[in-house]
Amino acid sequence: MAMESAWVLARMIQTLLLDTPRAPSGAALARILRAYERVQRPRVEEAQDNSRALARLMFRTSRPVAFGREVALRMMNVEQALRPIQKLLASPPHPDEAARKALGAGTAKPGSFR
C-alpha cells in the first residue's frame, strides 16, 4: 500500500506540474493533496482493516481457537483467502484523473496547458 500511495502522490504532483503553464500555486498544491487523500484514504483504510482482521485471526493464543482456525484454513482455497486483496487490486486508483479533477482541468492531456 505504501508503494501504491507513493506512486499515486507522485503522479498527481506530476500532473500538476505538467498541466500548469507556470509554477503551481500553493492553493493548487493544496487541492492536489486533498484529492490525494480523497483517493487513497478509503483504499488504505480497507487494506488496514483487512490486515487487522487477518491479524486477529492468525495471532490467537487460545488452543481451541487456534485449532478451529487451522481446520477452517485447511478447508479454504487460495481464491477465498485472497478475495479481499483481489477486490482491492481490481479497482486501481486513477491519479491523473483525480489530479485534473482537483485542478478543474477536466480531460486535458498530460503536458497541455490550460
Of the candidates 112, 102, 88, 84, which has an alpha carbon nearest to the alpha carbon of residue 5?
Answer: 88
Counting every residue written for the chain, the total comes to: 114
**Running DSSP on this structure, what letter comes out for residue 25?**
P
The H or E element containing residue 58 is helix 26-58
Mean pLDDT score, 85-111: 80
Comparing 1-5, 28-32, 38-42, 104-108, which segment has the lowest mean pLDDT? 104-108
**CB-CB neighbours of 40 under 10 Å:** 19
Please determine, for residue 106, whether its predicted confidence score (pLDDT) is greater than 50.
no
